[in-house]
Amino acid sequence: MVCLFETRCSGIKAETTIKKLGFNYYALNEARGYVGGIWALWNKEIKATCIHNHEQFLQFEIQDQEKGKWNLFVIYANPHAQIRDSVWPLIESKCSNNIPLLLAGDFNEIASISEQKGGSPPNIQRCNKFQSWINKCSLIDLIPAGPFFTWEGPKRHGQRKLFKRLDRALCNQNWRTSFSDASSKCLARIHSDHHHFLITTEDQNQSFKDRLEQLQTSLKTWNKEVFGDITKRKRRLLNRLEGIQISLDRKYNPFLDNLGRRLAKELESVLDQEEALWFQKARCQWIRDGDRNTRYYHTKTISHRRRNKILMLKNNSGDWIEDLEEIKRTIVSFYKELFKEDLEQRSISFPVFGWPSIETHEWESINSPFCPEEIKNVVFNIGGSKALESDGFPASFYHQNWDTVGVRFKRSQEVGKYLGVEIIHGRKTKCKFSHIMDKVQNRLAGWKANCLSMAERATLIQSVCSSMPLYHMQHNMLPKSVINQVEKLERAFLWGSSPEKKHCHHIGWNKICTPKALGGLGILSLREMNMAFFYKLAWQLLTKEDNL
C-alpha cells in the first residue's frame, strides 16, 4: 500500500491522476486548496476496506490470511495545533479495543525536545501532551532506521534551519506481537521537505533459504490460481467433451459443436502443460514435438528418484559397503576428517633488519601542535571553488578575508561532554537537563502500566528509572522543576495515571520513598539523593585536600 500526503489535488483531476498510477483500489481525502489531502493506493493482493474517512486520517480494516484482521490508520494531522488537538480523542476512542492496529503518517507533532534540532526551543508542554497521548493509547514507537529527523525546514542563508521528527509509526502490543519482524525505515528525501517512510511487516534480513521457501509458497498459490490442478482440468475437459460428442451423435446442435471445438483447443493447451510438467520432473535432455507419451516421463522420473539413493559406497580401504548404517558412519567419518582443524604448529620468522623506522626529528614534527602558519598554508592550498565547512562559503572567501576570519578559523559552539555529561556554562535551567526527563519518559513508555502489577511497577521505578539521574546528581544540583517532573512521571506510572485520566494516589509520595523496613516501597527520593551527593563532596573537600 502506498500513501501520499499534501497532494494539492482534488476532484476529477485527483481521480484521473490516481487511475494513471495503475493501482486497483484507492481511498482518498481530497485536499482543500493547498492544505491536506490523503491518498491510499493498493492492489488486489491486499484485502483492505476503508471503514472511516476523516479529514485528518483514513481508517482501514486489513484482512490478512495468516494474521487475521487488524486496523491501519493513515494519518495526516493538521498543521494548526487547535485543529490537530481535536483528532487525538477520536483516534483514542478507536484504540480502546483489542484489535491489532498500526498508526502511521505525518503527526505534525514531536514527543520530546530531542526530536527537534535548531530553531526556537520547542514547547515542552506540547511534547509532554503528545507523549502522554501515546502512553494512554498504549502505543509503541517503531523507531526507524536511517535518518532520525523526517522533516527539514526552509533554508536560511544557505543552511537548513530546522529539523524535526514529524513522521512516525505507532502500534499497539497486539500488532507488535503479530508482526514481530516488522520494521520501519526513513528513506532519502528527494523533492519534498519530508523523507519517504517505509514500513515492512516481514523480516528484510531473511536468509536465502527462507526467501526460497516463501517463493515456493507464492509460486504454489500462483499456480493454483492461474493454472489450477492440471490433472483435474484434464479430467473435467475430457468428461465434458465426451458428453458433447454423445449429444452430437444423437442430434446435431451448432452451439454444442462450437463449444466442443473450444474445449478441444483448451484440452490441447492442458495436454501441453502436462507434457511440460512431466518433462521438467524427468529432467530429459530432449523432447519430440507432438509426443505426449507421459508414461515415458513417469518412468524417467521414477528412475531419477532411485538414482538419488546410495546403495553401495567404497571406503578408504577400497572395499564396497552395502549396509546402510555402515554407509552412514563412513560418510560422517570422511567429512569429520575433511573439515577437522589442523593443529600443526608453524614457525614464523621475522626479519631482524630492514624494518622502516621514523627519525627523531620526524617524530617530533608529527607530535608537535599545529601552528597558525601551518593552518594558513593548508587553507590557501585548497582550491578557491572548494568549500571548507557546511556554511557554504568557498575557500576563496577565506583567502581574501584571512585577516578577519583567520583567528576564528574554527569556533566551538559547545564545550561538549566529559565522561558522558554535558559541561554546562552559566545558569542551570530545566531545558539543559531535559534529556533526563526524556530518558525516564521513553523508558516508562516502553513498559505499559496496564500490563504490570503494582509490585512490578515499583521494582521498575526503583531499579531503572530512579537510577537514571544519579550520575548527573553527583556533580550538579538539579533544578527543582526537573526533579519534580521526574517524580511526577514515576508517580503516574506507579498508580497508572495519565493527564486525561487520573487514578487515586492512596499513599503519599514521602511515605512511598521511605525504606521498606519502615513501611515504604524503598523508592529513592531524588531531592534527598542529590543533597547526599553534595554532602559527600563537601566531606571529601574537608578530609581529602590532596584530591583537589
Section 363-373 average pLDDT? 78
Write down the pLDDT at residue 513.
Answer: 82
Which of 494, 501, 511, 405 minimizes the C-alpha distance to 452?
494
For residue 173, report the phi and psi dihedrals to the nearest 5 degrees.
Answer: -65, -35
Rg (CA), the chain: 36
**CATH match for 46-200 among 3.40.228.10, 3.60.10.10, 3.40.50.1000, 3.40.50.970:** 3.60.10.10
pLDDT tens per residue across span 240-269 = 888 888 888 888 888 888 888 888 888 888
Write down the pLDDT at residue 306.
Answer: 46
Model confidence band, residue 278 (pLDDT cutoffs 50, 70, 90):
low
pTM of the model: 0.47
Write down the pLDDT at residue 243.
Answer: 86
Which of 477, 470, 486 minimizes the C-alpha distance to 434?
486
Domain spans of the chain, in order of start: 46-200, 208-298, 363-405, 433-547
d(CA 424, CA 416) in angstroms, rounded, equals 9
Model confidence band, residue 206 (pLDDT cutoffs 50, 70, 90):
low
Tell me the CA end-to-end span of the chain in Å, nearest whole number. 64
Q: Which residues of 209-227 are buried (b: 16+ CB within 10 A; e: fewer)?
A: eeeeeeeeeeeeeeeeeee
Section 444-463 average pLDDT? 71
Write down the pLDDT at residue 74.
Answer: 92
Which of 484, 493, 481, 496 minimizes the C-alpha distance to 525?
484
d(CA 18, CA 39) in angstroms, rounded, equals 9
pLDDT tens per residue across span 34-91 = 777 888 898 888 888 898 888 888 989 988 887 888 999 999 998 888 888 999 999 8
Strands (E) in 134-282, as ranges, are: 140-141, 151-152, 155-156, 159-160, 163-164, 167-171, 183-186, 197-200
